Amino acid sequence: MKMKQEQEPAGDQVTEVGPNVLRMQLPIALPGLGHVNTYALLDKRGAAIVDPGLPGPATWKALKHRLRAAGVRVRDVHTVVVTHSHPDHFGTAGKLAKAAGAELVTHSAFRTWWAPASHNCADEDVHDVDPTEFATENPFQGETPWGGTYTFSRKRQWQWKLMRTRFLGIFVPPAPSRRLRHGETITLAGREFIATHTPGHTLDHLCLHDPEGGLLFSGDHVLPTITPHISGLGTGRDPLKSFVASLDRVAALADSVRVVLPAHGHPFTDLVGRAEDIKRHHEERLEKLQKVSIALGPATVETLSHELFRPARWGPMAESETYAHLEHLRLAGRADARQEHGKLVYEVHP
């Protein structure tokens, strides 16, 4: 099977991808991902850095190496931007901001497990999100809304524990000094960028639109060859509905976007086409879910996830995405759910 762009290992090249914008790749080891794109936006003050990768000494070493290759010193960094609250994006942001004395910028709804309810100002007027639904206090083990528990590997639990305890100074929790709401502007690379709130993948996902430079920093919202994970945990009442609305929101910017700069994979040009491909993927998944549910009759989330995903993918992520799709159908009046023996059982209507 051909490797997806997002799975490719990080290279050490620094490439110019837009006016005063450099792309760097940092190594990560997460399911389905081999790198995260970190961007340097250059101006007279120095540089802004977008999504500086996972926590830990390996990322910090790689980041400093890439910055040197780009002619940027740590002390030149005046702004750190985090697109959303996943560790491959915010993991080193706190450390970089502290070391550089830089401003740390996120969307207004950004939250982590260290301060899960610090702000709850998602853009409810546009997206059907519930900003009171924040991530669980324990990110690697807990109760699921559909019944039972989810537990990640011991290696992943150990990584999170290092982060939570700030072991040996490896992790500095991100403390945003500026929180952007949808439509607000921020000056980067010598021009104005527009904050574009795109909930779905996370509740706090932020894209940056650069109409003058013709760029869209899309984070994990629009990726070139894979579809972002849509979880039913801590992502709002109907994250799939929010995600589709967010895809339409960025597609409407296409006339002023020549290049999309994703957090994983290569820059690409067809924003509308890619957004439509991702929407089609979820439409097909909903159709398949309806067919298998009708064939099986009333079934649990776990059972239905096994029909949607191959065995190698079974587990918490498959179940959470299946749950998000089932809840989307239920809220649209296309499915019913009831509790049986401590588990949600869904029945999708023909």
- Please give the average per-residue pLDDT across 62-79, as a whole number: 98
Q: What is the pLDDT of residues 332-342, one digit of tens each?
A: 999 999 999 99
pLDDT of res. 129: 40
Buried b (16+ CB within 10 A) or exposed e, 209-224: bbeebebbbbbbbbbb
- Please count the other Cβ atoms lying within 10 Å of the Cβ belonging to residue 43: 15
pLDDT of res. 269: 98
Domain 279-348 has CATH 3.30.465.10: no
Sheet holding 299-300, edge to edge: 299-300, 343-348, 335-340
* Confidence class for position 2, pLDDT limits 50, 70, 90: confident
Residue ranges of the domains in the chain? 5-139+170-269, 279-348
Higher-pLDDT residue of 291, 118: 291
pLDDT of res. 115: 55
State whether the Cα torsion 323-332-251-82 is positive or negative.
Answer: negative
Higher-pLDDT residue of 193, 120: 193
Sequence-ordered list of residues with C-beta below 8 angstroms from that of 52, at least 6 positions apart, any chain: 26, 38, 59, 63, 80, 91, 92, 93, 96
Fold of the domain built from segment(s) 5-139+170-269: Metallo-beta-lactamase; Chain A (3.60.15)
Residue 154, pLDDT above cutoff 80: no
- Please give the average per-residue pLDDT across 38-66, as a whole number: 96
Residue 113, pLDDT above cutoff 70: no
Q: What is the pLDDT of residues 17-33, one digit of tens each?
A: 999 999 999 999 888 89
Backbone dihedral angles phi then psi of residue 319, each to the nearest 5 degrees? -70, -40
Higher-pLDDT residue of 158, 182: 182
Rounded-to-integer distance, Cα 56 and Cα 30, Å: 14
Residue 123, pLDDT above cutoff 90: no
Backbone dihedral angles phi then psi of residue 68, each to the nearest 5 degrees? -60, -45
> Do 5-139+170-269 and 279-348 share a fold?
no
166: left (phi over 0), alpha (psi -120 to 50) or beta: left
Rounded-to-integer distance, Cα 11 and Cα 237, Å: 38
pLDDT of res. 29: 81
